[in-house]
Every structure is written in structure tokens, then in C-alpha cells.
């Protein structure tokens, strides 16, 4: 086996040239596609069975090359690749063997880095641009295909309480500045590497003795502190992506430098490091908490002297009532605008500002096993204090981001994330760090058993408070009533659960026209196309409902939707919660109208084909679908089912004493017979081949099932086997048969109704673009509170039926918090697509009255709210940007916090379609009346 050459310290141009000339032919003993598939599958299975460890090596592999390899080896990727389709029951042209591995589009050109790896493009996404494979898989693929370049990455451990193993795709990138000549270098090193490792790498790069230089944290071109703790992770040293570090020559006294024994000295820098202020009033080092700080803090010392400190303009001792601060921006540390947006909204939440500007040391909970030992609360508290110091110098939230990455590895790295997801983590994490309950008691929740809702709700709230009691619960948590009803036994279950925020759906006002052809699975009528209007960003269930109304679907009937491709059923559209945007305008969608009582029966798919002059069989028309009863066992039952579903296509009228079947009518509806059992061909639209039919022909038509030539087939139309007269079939969920059309079938049936399917939306057909209408916040709330069935993946276990049921669920607001956080669900995700809604939501800035939505009879608290902050999201998925609007209550003015930039904004400008998370504060009755008078006078 040929092992890929290791990456060495050389320029990227040399590496690219080496790989370009390393185009050796593959081994003469090239394995077959099936052999390659099996070998790689075995390697992946073996790799998956071995527990992962930090340091395990993985390789980035181009996703587009990998997709070609999957197609070549006959493997379908149902999400990220185009699924191969079958034409006329025959596989299309054989997929060619992919060329050399091509990872060059993943790396940046003109790399000037020092280190063992090439620089990746920063915007790569796993599953879209690359896949990660184990070292064994990479070696085998490289042995077969050559190419490159090799992009190895190591697995690291993230997190403190909840450790997570992940591959460090983007190592820490540092800009090294040599103070001797101001020459700059780029160093790439793992953020889990130690300070000692960094010294070793710089020593090798510059040829310096480790005892004769020191490395400064040179963030923003300012000496912050000397890196002195040899075993400290670079992440814990608060080093950020792309920041500067400074190397200075110096001569330390013997034994006072980093040495092989691991002893380090807390060096006193030439320039005093700027210190931050703790709750206890003692300064700390910027790269960690000093031992004095920790001991003073947990001894419970209160703030007895004015707070001092001056890091990043932080100087609380100068604060006065008229100069409260709160106008500092947050520097972007590399796609951290999502974090800055949420943090600015939280640090401008009045109750939290009041809490963290006072001494909260007694409420730090280090014993909570699901907390962060108080470190997250401390980091957030210090960041809030810095932002509320006097002055407007932007703050670099490096310590806070470091703590965030340690306790929430999902937010580590430098990719864009969701501001609401971060907000949810922060609220929950701050609650656990500040939980006044040191040991949570076990309390069994009692059943309601018909007791009044008020009694059960209060009991549930007291149980919740007995285990969860913090400033976050006091300020941000409310309670809602959840009612579940079993659709079978009507069992009602009522629970009262706490909530931290409300996630409200956005009812879509954009519509989409879709044309669907409906086929009758019981053979009662001709197929008929229907054009329906559905929400543009709706779900399959919206299409089911609109189509059911259009075709007058009965209560005992159902619709089975499918996509038809190359005269076969490509896929069924069955999950009502899938996104409609999956269905493209150029696709052909059909619906089969079937009796609901037969839903559990075996499904019969009938595909049509005919033999051409060349002898090759070719698919034609649209497949038909019906159900076969459970008692059906023989081929005659299949023949009967085929005859039934084809009966509307008969060119001749067949009359029976009790029933007259006549077909081939333009409107697809059966016409009524006259008294003598005949049909008015002119009025009914029947296209009769002959007006006079003898009895022998009628008998042949009515018993024409033995004329069908049927063959069993598989999903791809291959491996056909003839159905003999005495054939007995198995009771599978789906039976697929092909119907051979000969001259006899063409004479008897009008196949034109099965051809020329309309597209969902005809190409070139333009519709007037309508600007999305604005929706109110109340309509979003009503959509959230409306009764609806649970999804198939979210079934409820009914205690009466002893089975999981798709129950109906109804939410009601019961208890509202002082701070109401409203999340507008602009992002939707499915297996195939991600989508963002830019719909404008009209939300009140004053006097948001929710009294009509609260079901509790308790009227002790006001249900009126006033807006004070907004987290905004601009742009699309992946490449968007976050900012925040926040109001300073003392000034009654709004400001725009866009990372480091802070500017005044008028109140009438804060309502935009970018609003993503809204922050409201309860207004007491007295304040509400005063506010109403002020705004009415302004109006």
C-alpha cells in the first residue's frame, strides 16, 4: 500500500507542484467498484467500533470527489448528491471511475504559513464542501486514486463538564511579529496545544534559544500579558484566531524561564498589564483568575470599596448616575457577531444589570453538577461590568468567549452560529451557575386527577422553584399549560411546564401555485389536474389540505402523493411536516385518491411498458396505484385490481343490469345513464369507438382481465418475473408490477389520459410577484397557541391505550415572566434544504397587551410589556450578519450595537424585517398609564 507523503514545512506552491507531478497510474490490480465499496465500508465499520481519542487523525476529502466515488460504487447519498434514476427500466450510462483526488479547491492559494498544514478556505462547511474520513480510509483511497493534497486534522476534546470530541478542522492561526525587525510570520497550531508547544515552534522558526525570548499576547497591537504558564492551553490563554503575538529577545536570570521541568514563573512584564475588576474588588490577570481573587471571592467578601480597573476603558469608579455607561461595543473575534448581538441584549436587560453590578458572590453555585462551577456567571458578570463602565471604547470579549467554548463546544471555532441558540444556552447556563438550590430534592409530580387548573399549576410551579431558584428564574421564566388529547380514547393529559422564551412560527403570506393530477385508485373516474394555491414556505400538509378541498375529498378517503419521473414513481411525499420547497416547479407530482379504510392494505403499483420495433421494452404513461385486500392471495386478485383501476380508460361502454360503466369523458366525471341504459355521447363527451357493441364484445371487455400481461418487478424496474395464473404472492407492503401494452390494450383503453403530465408550474409561465404582506406579532402568537396534531416523530404515549398516539396538542400561556423573550422562527430546516423567512413582523414597541392570551385567573401581575432590545439577523443562511438594538432606560433612547460600532437610532426605525429575537419587560399598571399618556400626546 502506498502511504501518502507527510506534509512538511514547505510553501504551498511546492506542495501543489509536488502533487501535480505525482500522477502515477493506479495499480494494475485495480479493484472493482463493488470491491472498493466493501473495503471502504469495512474500514468505516471498524473505525466506528473503536472508541475515539484525542489525537486521532482524520483527513478532509473533497465532497464533490466523494460524491463521484459514491456514484461510481453504486451508493446513493440521499441528501447531498443527485440520486441516480432509471430510464425505461434500464440503467443509464455507467458512471465513470473518478479521477485523482482533488482537494485543491479547499485550500487557499498563496499560503505563506509556517507549519505542517495548508490553510483552508474559512467558509467551508462539512457535508457540503468536504467530508471527514479516518486515516485508514484516506490511505486506501489515496492508494487507489493518488492526487491530494493531504489535509490531516486531529481530534481534540472540548468542554469541561460535558466533554465533546471533535475534529479541529481550523487550527489556531496566529500572526507572529518579531520585535527585532518587525518581520511577520503566520503560525498555525492547535488551540489545545500548550504554551510550551508554542515556544518550541517559535524557537524552531526563529532559531532562538527558548531562554532568550518571551512571547507577548499582543491583541490589537497592545501588550496584554506574557505567556508564562507552560502547560496552559492556548485556548485557555485567551488567544484568538488571527490575533497578533509579539516575540521579544530578553535575558532572564537562570532558572526563571520555562524549562524542561515545566516550572514557570509569573513574570512581571515590562509594561504593566491592564487588569479587570472582580466582584470582590481585586484585580485579576487578563489571562486568568489570580489565586487571591478566587480565595477572596469565595470567602464572600462584599464590595466595600469603589470598583477600579481600566482594561479596555473599564473604570467603574468614575461611574455616576448621569454617566451609567452601556454604550460600549463588542469587538468581533471572527464571526462572533451572533454572540455580540445576544450579549448586548442581555447586558441591557435592566434586572440583570442591577443584579450583576452588585455583589452576587454568595449565589455562585460551584456544587451544581450540571452547572459550570460558576465560571460562566463570573465571566458574564465581568463582561457586563466592563460594558457598563464609563466611556465608549469597544471591549474585546476574549475571556468570555474562551469560557463559552470550554462549556459549550458547539460555539467553539470561528464559524457563524445562531444568536438565539447562544441566548438559550446563556440563560440556562447562568441559571445553573446561580442556582440558589445547592442540592436539588426529588419531588414526585402528582397527576391532576380532575383538580382545578389553578391548584395544579401552583403546585407544579412550587415544585419547579424547589429545584430551580435563581435570578434567571425570577426574571425570565414563565409557565404554560400543555393539553394533550388521545385521538383514539380521548384521554386528556394536562401539564404545566416552565419556559424561558417563546419560539413563535411565522405564518407565511407568500403563496405558490402548484398543479397536481389526481388519479382515482378505485377506478371511479378519470384523472383530473387541479391547480391549488399553497404557502410558498409551507409544508406537505398544506398541499394535502388544499388539494383535498379542490377535489372534494371525502372524509373516508385519503390522498397519496408521489413524484413521477421517467414514467415511474421516484418517491412518495408522505411526511406531512416536510417542506414544500423540496418540490421543484419542473417536477411532475400526482395524487392517488384511495379509500381510507384500505390504508393498511398492500399497495399495488402498476407501471406501463410496451415493446418497440427494436424489441426493447420502453416505459410509458403514468403509474397507477391502488390497494389490494389482505385476503387477496392469487394472481387473479391482481388482475382484478388492474382491471378496476383501468376501467375509466375503456374506449367502449360496458353496461350491466345494475351498473353502467362508461369512461373517456373530458371532465373526468361519470355521466348519468338515461332510462334505457345508454349514454348521450354528444353531451357526455364520451369518445366511443363504436356506437353499436355486440354482446360478445361486451363480455370480452367485462372479462378482459386475462388479456393483461403482468410481471413482478423491483423498485428500479429490474428483475422481472412473469405472474402465472396459479401464482400466489407474498403479503408485502408494496407490490410492483409492469403491464405490457399490446395492440389489444391500445384498442380497448385510451392511454392518452396517462400521458402528458403537467408540471407543478409550467416553465415560462410568469406570475405577478407580490411583496410579502406584513404579519402581526399576535398572529404569530396565535399560530403558536393553536391546537394541532403531533408529528409522526413526536408521538405521545397514551397511559390508557398503552400505545404511542399522534395526539393533538394545545398550548396556553399561564404565567408570564418579568422579561419576556420572543424568538421569531425565521429559519426552517429539513433533510434537504434550509430556508429563511424575511417576512416583516409588525410588533408593538409599547403596551404589548397579552391579557387575552393568559388563561390563569390570577390578576396580581400586569400582562402589558414594553420592548427594550432586539437581536437582528441580516442576509441569508451561512453568510448573514447579526446586530442588536437596545434602549437605555435612563435616557429613553435607542442605540444600534453593530459589533464595535455603536450609534444612535430613532425609535421609529427599529422595526425591520431583520428582527429575530425580541426582548420585552413587564410594565406595571402605574407606569403603563404614564407611558400611554406620553405616547398619546406624541401621537
Half-sphere exposure of 574 (CA within 13 A, CB side): 6
b or e along 236-260 (b: 16 or more beta carbons within 10 Å of the residue's beta carbon)? Answer: bbbbbbebbbbbbeeeeeeeebbee
Set 250, 655, 660, 881: catalytic member: 881
**8 Å CB contact between 61 and 103:** yes
- Residue 702: closest CA among 786, 644, 616: 644
- The rounded distance, in Å, linking the Cα atoms of 213 and 258 is 10
Based on the residue annotation, tell me whether 337 is a catalytic residue of this protein: yes
Q: What is the DSSP letter of 616?
A: -
**Nearest to residue 649, comparing CAs of 683, 624, 678, 682?**
624
Taken in order 191, 196, 198, 204, is the CA torsion positive or negative? Answer: negative
- Could you tell me whether strands 602-611 and 734-741 are parallel, antiparallel, or unpaired per DSSP bridges? parallel
Spatial contact of 230 and 262, defined as CB atoms under 8 Å apart: yes
**Beta-strand relationship, 660-661 and 848-849:** unpaired
Comparing C-alpha atoms, which of 658, 632, 626 is closest to residue 524? 626
* Residue 171 to residue 166: CA distance in whole angstroms: 12
Q: Which three cell numbers mark 249?
A: 529577545
Grid coordinates standing for 647? 376501467
Q: Which of 377, 381, 388 is nearest to 348 (CA)?
A: 388
Q: Which helix (H) or strand (E) holds 87?
A: strand 86-87
Would residue 567 show up in a list of annotated catalytic residues for this protein? no
**Alpha-carbon distance values, 238 to 266, 470, 591, 906 (Å):** 17, 29, 59, 37
CB of 587 closer than 8 Å to CB of 759: yes
* Contact (CB, 8 A) for 829 and 814: no
3-state secondary structure of 269: coil
How far, rounded to the nearest angstrom, does the alpha carbon of residue 563 sit from its chain's CA centroid? 25
Angle at 618 between CA 616 and CA 623, to 5 degrees: 155
Q: Which residues touch 486 (CB under 8 Å, ≥6 apart)?
A: 492, 796, 798, 800, 801, 805, 807
164-167 β-sheet, strand order = 130-134, 57-62, 152-158, 164-167
Q: Do 193 and 236 contact (CB within 8 A), yes or no? A: no
* DSSP annotation string for 677-700: S---HHHHT---S-S---HHHHHH
Catalytic residue among 173, 315, 337, 720: 337
Rounded to whole angstroms, the Cα distance separating 156 from 168 reads 6
Q: What's the rounded Cα separation, in Å, for the pair 350 and 327?
A: 14
Burial of 786 (0-12, 13-18, 19+ CB in 10 A): exposed
Tally the C-alpha atoms within 13 A of residue 316's C-alpha that lie toward its C-beta. 25
CA distances from 423 to 491, 494, 501 (A): 37, 29, 10
The strand order across the sheet containing 557-565 reads 528-535, 511-520, 588-595, 557-565, 568-573
**CA–CA separation, 518 and 528 (whole Å):** 5
CB neighbours (10 Å) of residue 316?
20
Q: Is 193 helix (H, G, I), strand (E, B) or coil?
A: coil
User: SS3 of 792, please?
Assistant: coil
Cα angle 809, 815, 819 (rounded to 5 degrees) comes to: 115
What is the set of active-site residues?
337, 881
Amino acid at each position: 500500500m502506498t502511504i501518502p507523503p507527510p506534509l512538511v514545512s514547505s510553501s504551498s506552491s511546492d506542495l501543489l507542484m509536488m502533487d501535480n507531478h505525482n500522477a502515477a497510474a493506479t495499480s494494475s490490480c485495480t479493484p472493482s467498484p463493488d470491491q472498493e465499496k466493501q473495503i471502504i465500508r469495512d474500514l468505516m465499520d471498524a473505525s466506528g467500533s473503536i472508541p475515539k481519542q484525542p489525537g486521532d487523525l482524520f483527513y478532509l476529502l473533497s465532497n464533490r470527489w466523494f460524491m463521484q466515488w459514491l456514484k461510481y460504487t453504486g451508493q446513493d447519498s440521499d441528501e447531498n448528491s443527485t440520486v441516480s434514476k432509471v430510464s425505461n427500466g434500464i440503467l443509464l450510462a455507467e458512471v465513470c471511475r473518478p479521477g485523482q483526488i482533488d482537494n485543491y479547491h479547499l485550500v487557499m492559494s498563496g499560503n505563506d504559513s509556517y507549519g505542517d498544514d495548508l490553510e483552508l478556505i474559512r467558509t467551508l462547511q462539512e457535508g457540503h464542501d468536504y467530508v471527514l474520513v479516518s486515516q485508514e480510509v484516506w490511505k486506501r483511497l489515496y492508494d487507489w486514486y493518488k492526487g491530494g493534497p493531504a489535509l490531516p486534522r486531529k481530534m481534540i476534546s472540548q468542554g469541561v463538564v460535558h466533554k465533546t470530541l471533535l475534529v479541529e478542522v481550523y487550527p489556531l492561526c496566529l500572526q507572529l511579529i518579531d520585535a527585532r525587525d518587525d518581520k511577520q510570520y503566520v503560525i498555525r497550531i492547535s488551540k489545545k496545544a500548550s504554551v510550551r508547544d508554542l515556544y518550541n515552534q517559535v524557537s524552531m522558526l526563529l532559531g532562538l534559544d527558548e531562554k532568550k525570548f518571551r512571547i507577548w499576547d499582543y491583541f490589537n497591537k497592545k501588550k496584554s500579558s506574557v505567556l508564562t504558564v507552560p502547560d496552559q492551553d492556548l485556548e485557555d490563554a485567551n488567544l484568538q484566531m488571527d490575533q497578533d503575538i509579539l516575540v521579544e529577545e530578553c535575558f532572564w536570570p537562570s532558572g526563571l524561564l520555562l524549562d524542561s521541568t515545566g516550572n514557570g514563573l509569573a513574570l512581571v512584564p515590562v509594561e504593566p498589564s491592564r487588569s479587570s475588576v472582580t466582584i470582590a474588588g481585586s484585580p485579576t490577570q487578563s489571562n486568568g483568575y489570580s489565586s487571591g481573587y478566587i480565595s477572596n471571592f469565595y470567602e464572600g467578601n462584599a464590595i466595600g470599596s469603589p470598583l477600579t480597573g481600566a482594561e479596555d476603558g473599564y473604570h467603574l469608579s468614575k461611574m455616576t448616575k448621569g454617566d451609567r455607561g452601556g454604550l460600549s461595543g463588542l469587538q468581533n473575534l471572527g464571526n462572533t457577531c451572533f454572540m455580540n448581538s445576544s450579549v448586548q441584549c442581555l447586558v441591557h436587560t435592566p434586572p440583570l444589570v442591577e443584579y450583576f453590578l452588585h455583589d452576587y458572590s454568595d449565589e455562585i453555585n460551584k456544587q451544581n453538577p450540571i452547572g459550570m462551577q460558576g465560571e460562566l456567571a463570573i465571566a458574564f458578570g465581568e463582561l457586563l461590568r466592563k460594558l457598563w463602565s464609563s466611556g465608549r471604547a469597544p471591549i474585546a470579549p476574549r475571556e468570555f468567549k474562551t469560557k463559552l467554548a470550554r462549556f459549550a463546544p458547539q460555539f467553539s471555532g470561528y464559524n457563524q452560529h445562531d444568536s438565539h441558540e447562544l441566548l438559550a444556552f446563556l440563560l440556562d447556563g447562568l441559571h445553573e451557575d446561580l442556582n440558589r438550590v445547592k442540592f436539588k430534592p426529588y419531588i414526585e409530580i402528582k397527576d391532576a386527577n380532575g383538580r382545578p387548573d389553578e391548584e395544579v399549576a401552583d403546585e407544579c410551579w412550587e415544585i419547579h422553584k424547589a429545584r430551580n431558584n435563581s435570578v434567571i428564574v425570577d426574571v425570565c421564566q414563565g409557565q404554560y399549560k400543555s393539553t394533550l388529547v388521545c385521538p383514539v380514547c380521548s384521554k386528556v393529559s394536562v401539564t404545566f411546564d416552565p419556559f424561558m422564551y417563546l419560539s413563535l412560527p411565522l405564518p407565511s403570506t407568500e403563496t405558490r401555485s402548484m398543479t397536481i393530477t389526481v388519479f382515482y385508485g378505485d377506478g371511479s373516474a378519470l384523472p383530473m389536474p387541479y391547480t391549488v394555491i399553497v404557502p410558498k414556505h409551507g409544508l406537505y400538509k398544506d398541499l394535502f389540505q388544499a388539494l383535498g378541498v379542490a377535489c372534494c375529498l371525502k372524509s373516508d378517503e385519503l390522498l397519496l402523493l408521489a413524484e413521477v419521473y421517467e414514467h415511474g414513481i421516484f418517491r412518495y411525499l408522505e411526511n406531512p411536516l416536510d417542506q414544500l420547497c423540496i418540490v421543484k416547479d419542473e417536477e411532475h407530482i400526482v395524487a392517488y385518491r384511495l379509500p381510507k379504510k384500505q390504508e393498511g392494505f398492500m399497495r399495488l403499483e402498476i407501471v406501463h411498458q410496451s415493446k418497440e420495433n427494436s424489441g426493447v421494452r420502453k416505459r410509458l404513461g403514468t403509474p397507477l396505484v391502488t390497494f389490494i385486500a389482505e385476503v387477496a392471495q392469487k394472481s387473479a386478485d391482481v388482475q382484478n385490481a388492474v382491471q378496476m383501476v383501468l376501467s375509466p380508460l375503456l374506449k367502449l361502454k360496458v353496461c350491466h343490469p345494475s351498473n353502467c360503466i362508461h369512461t373517456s369523458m373530458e371532465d373526468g366525471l361519470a355521466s348519468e345513464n338515461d332510462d334505457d341504459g345508454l349514454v348521450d355521447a354528444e353531451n357526455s363527451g364520451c369518445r366511443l369507438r363504436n356506437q353499436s357493441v355486440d354482446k360478445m364484445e361486451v363480455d370480452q371487455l367485462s372479462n378482459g382481465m386475462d388479456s393483461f400481461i403482468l410481471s413482478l418487478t423491483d423498485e428500479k424496474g429490474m428483475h422481472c418475473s412473469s405472474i402465472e395464473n396459479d401464482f400466489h404472492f407474498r403479503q408485502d407492503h408494496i407490490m410492483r408490477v409492469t403491464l405490457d401494452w399490446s395492440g389489444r390494450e391500445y384498442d380497448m383503453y385510451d392511454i392518452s389520459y396517462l400521458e402528458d403530465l403537467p408540471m407543478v408550474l409550467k416553465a415560462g409561465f410568469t406570475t405577478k410577484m407580490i411583496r410579502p404582506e406584513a404579519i402581526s406579532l399576535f398572529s404569530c402568537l396565535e399560530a403558536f397557541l393553536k391546537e394541532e396534531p403531533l408529528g409522526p416523530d413526536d408521538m405521545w404515549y397514551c397511559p390508557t391505550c398503552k400505545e404511542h398516539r399522534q395526539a393533538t396538542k394545545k398550548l396556553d400561556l399561564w404565567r408570564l415572566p418579568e422579561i419576556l423573550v420572543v424568538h421569531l422562527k425565521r429559519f426552517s430546516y429539513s433533510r434537504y434544504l434550509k430556508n429563511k423567512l424575511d417576512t416583516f413582523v409588525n410588533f408593538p414597541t409599547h403596551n404589548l397587551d397579552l391579557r387575552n392570551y393568559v388563561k390563569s385567573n390570577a390578576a396580581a401581575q400586569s400582562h402589558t410589556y414594553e420592548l427594550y432590545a432586539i437581536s437582528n439577523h441580516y442576509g441569508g443562511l451561512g453568510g448573514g450578519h447579526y446586530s442588536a438594538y437596545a434602549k437605555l432606560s435612563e435616557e429613553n433612547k435607542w442605540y444600534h450595537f453593530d459589533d464595535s460600532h455603536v450609534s444612535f437610532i430613532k425609535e421609529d426605525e427599529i422595526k425591520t424585517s431583520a428582527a429575530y429575537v425580541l426582548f420585552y419587560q413587564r410594565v406595571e399598571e402605574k407606569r403603563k398609564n404614564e407611558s400611554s399618556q406620553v405616547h398619546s400626546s406624541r401621537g
